[in-house]
Amino acid sequence: MSEETKLREDICKLAKSIFDRGLTGGSSGNISARLSDGTLLMTPTGSSMGFLDPARISHLDTDLRLLSGDEPTKEVPLHSAFYETRSGTGAVVHLHSTHSVAWSMLPEVDSDDVLPPLTPYSIMRLGKVKLLPFFLPGDAAMGDAIRGLAGKRSAVLLANHGPVVAGRDLWATVFAMEELEETAKLALLTRGSDPKMLSASDIRRIEQEFPT
């Protein structure tokens, strides 16, 4: 099996898992992954993650021109900004996951460090997550906002919209995205109950042992 064939199948397999577990619904959310030649595979515009066809995945060249497959998601600028600014990026996942979106709308959320330090895993897999302001879906300004972070963040939360995560490969990126959503869920479940958070020294130890 070729690298491209396997990656196409993995995109569809993981996308279906995401959809089946209700982490994004309808035709929302998108995934991209980079092949070793620098070209990108990306989920098509208007497609549902639960019903993707490997043969119809968009294949874009290094200048983001369509080589084959259906037209890509309108969020191409969002994905490409991560590839441009984080050299080790092998995949990008964007969802409209419920708990993350809900968390993005709360007034007490720290825009520079969205997720509270409830467990070590969000720190290990995501580092600090930046809250970005609301943009219209498909707005190229989202890409500009990502570039403005100069590659320092592997994940952002778009206000009233959803999370975006970049990682070294497709599987690691999906796992990190799931951690973001689970941490947002925990934050909502414990909101107002004064949960015991990880201490600053705990966080430093985690960051030293598991750099993002």
Helix (H, G, I), strand (E, B) or coil at 106: coil
Exactly one of 75, 178, 179, 181 is catalytic; name it. Answer: 75
Q: How far is CA 57 from CA 16, 26, 108, 148, in A?
A: 14, 17, 39, 29
Q: 142: part of which helix (H) or strand (E)?
A: helix 141-147
Determine the Cα–Cα distance for residues 69 and 197; give it in Å rounded to an integer: 46
Exactly one of 4, 121, 182, 207 is catalytic; name it. Answer: 121
Determine the Cα–Cα distance for residues 184 and 180; give it in Å rounded to an integer: 6
CB neighbour class for 140 (10 Å; exposed up to 12, middle 13-18, buried from 19): middle
Query: Cβ distance 165 to 129 under 8 Å?
Result: no
Whether 178 is catalytic:
no
Residues ≥6 apart with Cβ < 8 Å to 88? 168
Query: Cβ distance 181 to 95 under 8 Å?
Result: yes
Residues ≥6 apart with Cβ < 8 Å to 175? 125, 167
Whether 83 is catalytic:
no
Catalytic annotation, residues: 75, 121
